[in-house]
Structures are given as C-alpha cells and as structure tokens.
C-alpha cells in the first residue's frame, strides 16, 4: 500500500506534525533540595551532640569518679597487702635464720661445755671420788667446788705445795676455751681475827686471789678471770656442825656460759646483722 493510500484512509495522520524533543532544565532543583535537607539534618544532629545535659553529665562524671576511685583504692589495698605479705615473709625468713644460727651456737657451746666437764672429771677424778671436789653444770655455766683442805691450811691463803699440780691441771683445761672464769672464796661462820686477815672477808678474798694468780701463771688469760671473796654469805649447808662448816669452806671456780650476742633486724631495710655469726 502506497503512502497516498494511507493518507486517504487516515487523514489525521497526515495532518499531525512531528513533536519536537525538549530538555528539562529544572531537574537540578531536586538534587539541590535533597542536599539541603541532608545538610539540615547533619547540623541538627551535630547540635544535638554538642548540647549536653548538665545534670546527666554530672551523674555520669560522678559514676566514673566513683568507679575509678574504687578501683584505685582496691589497687592500693592489693599493693599494700602484697608489700605487707612480702615484709612478713622476709621477717619470718630472717627470724628463722637467726633462730637457726642461735640454735647452732647453743649446740656448739653445749658441746664445748660438756667437753670441759668431761675433762675436769678426768683430771680431778681422785678428788671427786673422795668428795673433796664436785663438778656440776648450772644456768651460769660449769661450777667446780674445791674443798679448802685441798688447797690451804686452816686460816691461811697460801696454796699448799701438793695443791699446785691439781690447779695446774685445771688451768690446762681452762686454756682450751675462751669462756670467762669467776673464782670465789668461801668460809664458814667462825670469825677470824689475825693481823693478816681481820675477818673472813679478807681471808676469802685472799684465797680466791691465790687461785687466780696460779691460773695466770699457768697460762690462763687474766682478762678472763675475776676473783671475789664471799666470806660466809653463800653456805652450802647450815653452819651447825663441824662437817657442815668444813663443807662450806671452799673455793668455787665457775666457767661462765657466754650470753648469745644480740641480733639486729632493721625494720626499714630488712637487713640482718651478722654480728652473732659463728
């Protein structure tokens, strides 16, 4: 079918002009409006964030301070407890070490004293057997009582010749250690009045001094020795018979047990002194 025929059938199609295309130049307004809306929303959110409720802020701040202060106090308590525990453990260790050292010193001293007792019992065995000498241990040390008849004549403070070997043997035993020695003279209650010894005080002191001088002559260090006269003030038995008075007339030689040296524990540094070490 030709175009002329189409025009005859559809005359309006022949008369309708062709529509011209036009560009829409107002489309940017939509994008601009969206941008402005988003920008407005952004500023609203920023304003909301920047506006702080003072009351809620204080509550929040107090909560944080309380939480952190509790944690800080807990941490400080833990640190203090830890330091106290370490100090207690250190102190216990130092005390245990001191006690162990003191126990070792005491064992050593006891062994030394026992050896001295054994040696004195050996060299004085004949006099011990007949009751003229006794060797005992006490809280002060080794106590050796020598009856005055073994050493002196009655009313005299000059050593008898036969007493010198006995005391010399005792002196050799005393040289084996460094313990201090106390020598005491004792009398009975019968008074003495002579030009040389006006009373029992002078007699007892002179007898103790005679024994000390012999010990020094036999090599015992004089710095270890002390002489004292006691007269009749420390009797072994009541002065009510010849036998008891004879027992009270004696010379006592005491080998003194040394006292342990004090240990020093520094509470500031926890340093232990080694002054008492073996």
- 3-state helix/strand/coil string of the chain: CCHHHHHHHCHHHHHCCCCCCCCCCCCHHHHHHHHHHHHHHHHHHHHHHHCCCHHHHHHHHHHHHHHHHHHHHHHHHHHHHHHHHHHHHHHHHHHHHHHHHHHHHHHHHHHHHHHHHHHHHHHCHHHHHCCCEEEEECCCEEEEEEEHHHHECCCCCCECCCHHHHHHHHHHHHCCCCCCEEEEEECCCCCCCCCCCCCHHHHHHHHHHHHHHHHHHCCCCHHHEEEEEEECCCCCCCCCCHHHHHHHCEEEEEEECCCCCCCCECCCCCCECCCCCC
pLDDT in tens, the chain (278 residues): 555 555 555 555 555 555 555 556 666 777 777 778 877 777 777 776 665 556 665 665 666 667 656 666 666 676 676 677 777 777 778 777 878 887 887 888 788 889 999 999 999 999 999 999 999 998 889 999 999 999 999 999 999 999 999 999 999 999 988 899 999 999 999 999 999 999 999 999 999 999 999 999 999 999 999 999 999 999 999 999 999 999 999 999 999 988 765 554 444 444 444 444 44
**Whole-structure pTM value:** 0.61
Q: Which domains are present in the chain? A: 112-256 (3.30.1330.60)
């Amino acid at each position: 079918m030709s175009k002329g025929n189409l025009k005859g059938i559809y005359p309006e199609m022949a008369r309708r002009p062709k529509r011209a295309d036009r560009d829409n130049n107002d489309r940017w307004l939509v994008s601009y409006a969206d941008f402005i809306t988003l920008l407005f929303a952004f500023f609203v959110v920023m304003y909301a964030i920047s506006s702080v409720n003072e009351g809620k802020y204080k509550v929040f701040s107090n909560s944080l301070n309380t939480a952190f202060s509790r944690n800080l106090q807990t941490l400080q308590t833990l640190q203090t407890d830890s330091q106290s525990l370490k100090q207690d453990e250190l102190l216990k260790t130092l005390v245990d070490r001191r006690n162990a050292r003191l126990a070792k010193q005491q064992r050593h001293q006891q062994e030394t004293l026992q050896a001295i007792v054994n040696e004195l019992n050996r060299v004085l065995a004949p006099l011990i057997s007949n009751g003229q000498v006794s060797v005992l241990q006490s809280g002060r040390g080794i106590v050796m009582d020598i009856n005055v008849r073994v050493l002196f004549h009655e009313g005299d403070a000059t050593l008898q010749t036969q007493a010198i070997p006995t005391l010399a043997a005792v002196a050799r035993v005393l040289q084996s250690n460094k313990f201090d020695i106390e020598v005491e003279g004792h009398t009975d209650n019968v008074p003495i009045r002579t030009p040389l010894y006006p009373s029992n005080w002078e007699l007892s002191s002179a007898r103790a001094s005679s024994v000390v001088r012999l010990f020094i002559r036999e090599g015992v260090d004089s710095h270890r020795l002390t002489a004292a006269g006691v007269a009749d003030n420390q009797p072994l038995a009541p002065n009510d018979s010849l036998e008891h008075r004879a027992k009270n007339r004696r010379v006592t030689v005491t080998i003194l047990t040394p006292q342990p040296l004090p240990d020093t524990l520094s509470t500031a540094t926890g340093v232990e002194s080694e002054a008492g070490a073996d």
